[in-house]
Structure 1
Amino acid sequence: MANVSASPYQLIEDCEATHKTLYKFYAAVMIVIFILALPLNASVLHLFIFKLKFWNSNTNVFLFNLTLADVLVLFCLPVQAHSFIEGERRSSNDAICKAMLFMLFLHRGASIAFLTVISIDRYFNVVHLGQKRLLRVLKNSPQVSILIWLLLLPLTIPTMLKNFACCNSDKDTKDDALVKDVVDSLREAVIFTQIVIPFVILVYCTVHIVNRLRKKTVGDKTKLRRAVFAVTSCMVVFSLCFLPCTIARMVLLIVRAQLPDKELPQDRASVTFDGLMVLSYMDCLLDPLVYCFCSTTFKEHYFSSYFPFLLKGAKQLERSSIETVQPTRNTVD
């Protein structure tokens, strides 16, 4: 039960799940995602390491790191699902709660960062081929990937500080209000900056690559079409998985500021935010689509390794269509 004299943060950061049945549904969704995504990402990792040798291709290095980001969240899903089933929004154990938040937001930041880098790489390869300096930087994909991970670590630490997402919410802390406000503001700034800036970059890259495809009247358009599919797939994953939960977080903060003493609106906003966070974990299932659109080599190796019957069916269909067309040509001749 929330204290009457508690701060507005206490109302929305309460660890108890008020809608038990709904949170059990959230848990079921996470379990389904885990069951489907675990073998999918395991097969992708196996392919990158043993078949493609990802370190030999700049694009594959970025895609491999995106896969690592997805693996991070997979280990969190069973723990988070267990908390929901127990009627808690987060684990009651403070250390587990903060560790889960760190892993979840590190996954989110890494996924967004590598989706953005992949789009930037495609943009400069088809729109600004003359920018050799920038292209040379992107070619150093291992160094770029390491730099991204190193930058994400300090940016993710604010999610573990003070009272956030009900971690440490049951303890009566007497910290300086100014320090608390600074930490809260820093955390929210990081959360929204990680979304807004990459979203603008993704939109910019997508629009310019599509325009380049439209303006190209002669020559091979295959490379441009692949680039369009690649950045579009990144945009789709970003828009479905990360934008909704960010908007929900914004609504939650507005409700907290406008209605600090109203528990019902804050409770509804919190439940919606948690549900859309569950939706964000779907990127573990959608990212392989990005791999297929970004790398034809990955797509060919993946289907030939794990779904060879699909390729056999496609080849038989192609062969039959050729045989059907051939007699017609002979008759005409």
Structure 2
Amino acid sequence: MNTSEMALDNNFTNSSFNCAIDNFKQAVYPIMYLFIFFLGAVGNGFSIYVFFQPSQRKTSVNIYMQNLAVSDLMFVSTLPFRATYFLLGSHWIFGDIACRIMTYTLYVNMYCSIYFLTVLSMVRFVAIVYPFKHWKLTNVKYARITCAAIWIFVLGASSPLLCKEVAGYSTPAKCLDLHPSKSHSLLVMNSFVLVVGFILPFCTIIVCYVFAIKALLRSKTPQNKKMVSHKKALLTIIITLILFLICFLPYHILRTIHLVRSSCSQANLPMHKALVVTLCLAAMNSCLDPILYYFAAENFKARIRNLSCR
């Protein structure tokens, strides 16, 4: 999955094949990557500190959010390297092995974030629609097992990125530049990534949102503690859906359209530039996730207030 992502990303946004928009990339990527790195490192670093406080309540939701925060922090840690590459005029100075590890880490955590957000929506959906059933999905032990399974799956699926032949660059100095490849093979890889890495999670979140809304409209529960729980569950699903719509949907749509229309004509230059912007939006997810923690995590606000008082 992530092998395809790397190939597509590098082919469309990091190579001389993409209609000579190097100046645009070198103006946009460093600023955006460093901005996202700063916000993401501060936001997720503080979130991890709050989540791992001894007094913080251990729930399945918080377990998933802990892993999401760790994933995002690992994601943003790769961005200064990418920013440096473009600041130096598309020249990699950190060596071949570092390039493979950096690329591997970046895409592992991008797709881990997608899966953790999806599972969070499913857990909140179950809490609203089936509060007395499917308890395993909301069980802390089951949450830890699910998180481990996500990490193992994405790490394993991404492992080909550690091979130079798969990464596809010609020299270590151009490690973020994919050597011009066959559009047909990229289109096939994109189809797999699109379905497994985005469409299935996105459709799952939409289904959770629709049925959660229906369940709440039918509910005659009075205004009590249960309603507060329902509100927090619905907030989780809504924020997750918004993150997908803003951060991941534009990138996956434009990447697919660009593959179909792979010509390098003057008319397609705006699409090449738009793809650069949508990749930045995808990276921005890592610094927007703390908003989800603040509004939807268990006892997160209370813990922040306690730390502020101290």
Task: Tell me what 1:239 maps to.
Answer: 245
Task: Tell me what 1:323 maps to.
Answer: none
What is the SS of the residue equivalent to 1:282? Answer: helix
Deviation of the 1:225 alpha carbon: 1.5
- Residues 1-333 of structure 1: pairs in structure 2 closer than 5 A: 12=12, 15-16=15-16, 18-53=21-56, 56-88=58-90, 94-132=96-134, 134-135=136-137, 140-157=142-159, 161-163=166-168, 167=175, 185-186=188-189, 188-219=191-222, 220=224, 221-256=227-262, 259=263, 262-264=264-266, 268-306=270-308, 308=309
Code of the residue aligned with 2:286 in structure 1: it is C
Q: Distance in 2 between matches of 1:109 and 1:168?
A: 19
Deviation of the 1:182 alpha carbon: 5.9
Q: Deviations over 1:228-265 (max 9, x none)?
A: 11111111112211111111211211112xx3xx3545
Deviation of the 1:291 alpha carbon: 1.1
Deviation of the 1:66 alpha carbon: 0.2
Q: Distance in 2 between matches of 1:250 and 1:76?
A: 25
Q: How many residues align?
A: 290
TM-score normalized by structure 2?
Answer: 0.80
Deviation of the 1:292 alpha carbon: 2.1
Q: Distance in 2 between matches of 1:25 and 1:295?
A: 33
Q: Deviations over 1:276-327 (max 9, x none)?
A: 1112222222111111232240121123324x49xxxxxxxxxxxxxxxxxx
Instruction: State which structure, 1 or 2, has the greater radius of gyration over its C-alpha atoms.
Output: 1
1:213–1:89 CA distance, 2 compared to 1 (3 A): farther
What is the SS of the residue equivalent to 1:129? Answer: coil
Deviation of the 1:127 alpha carbon: 0.4
Deviation of the 1:181 alpha carbon: 6.1
Aligned partners of 2:11 and 2:180 also within 8 Å: no
1:72–1:28 CA distance, 2 compared to 1 (3 A): same
Q: Deviations over 1:91-132 (max 9, x none)?
A: 795544433332221111111101011110111122023433
Q: Distance in 1 between matches of 2:89 and 2:66?
A: 36
Aligned partners of 2:250 and 2:278 also within 8 Å: yes
Deviation of the 1:190 alpha carbon: 2.4
Task: Tell me what 1:319 maps to.
Answer: none
CA RMSD of aligned residues (A): 3.4
What is the SS of the residue equivalent to 1:281? Answer: helix
Structure 2 gaps of 5+ residues are 1-8
Q: Distance in 2 between matches of 1:226 and 1:253?
A: 40
Greater mean alpha carbon deviation, residues 244-253 or residues 138-147: 138-147
1:280–1:182 CA distance, 2 compared to 1 (3 A): closer
Code of the residue aligned with 2:52 in structure 1: it is I
Q: Distance in 1 between matches of 2:297 and 2:75?
A: 24
Q: Distance in 2 between matches of 1:97 and 1:267?
A: 28
1:269–1:142 CA distance, 2 compared to 1 (3 A): same
Task: Tell me what 1:316 maps to.
Answer: none
Q: Distance in 2 between matches of 1:140 and 1:159?
A: 30
1:169–1:284 CA distance, 2 compared to 1 (3 A): closer
Q: Distance in 2 between matches of 1:128 and 1:243?
A: 29
1:210–1:10 CA distance, 2 compared to 1 (3 A): closer
Aligned partners of 2:13 and 2:276 also within 8 Å: no
Code of the residue aligned with 1:15 in structure 2: it is S
Structure 1 gaps of 5+ residues are 1-8, 310-333
Q: Distance in 2 between matches of 1:288 and 1:234?
A: 11
Deviation of the 1:217 alpha carbon: 2.5
Identity, in percent, stands at: 21
Code of the residue aligned with 1:36 in structure 2: it is L
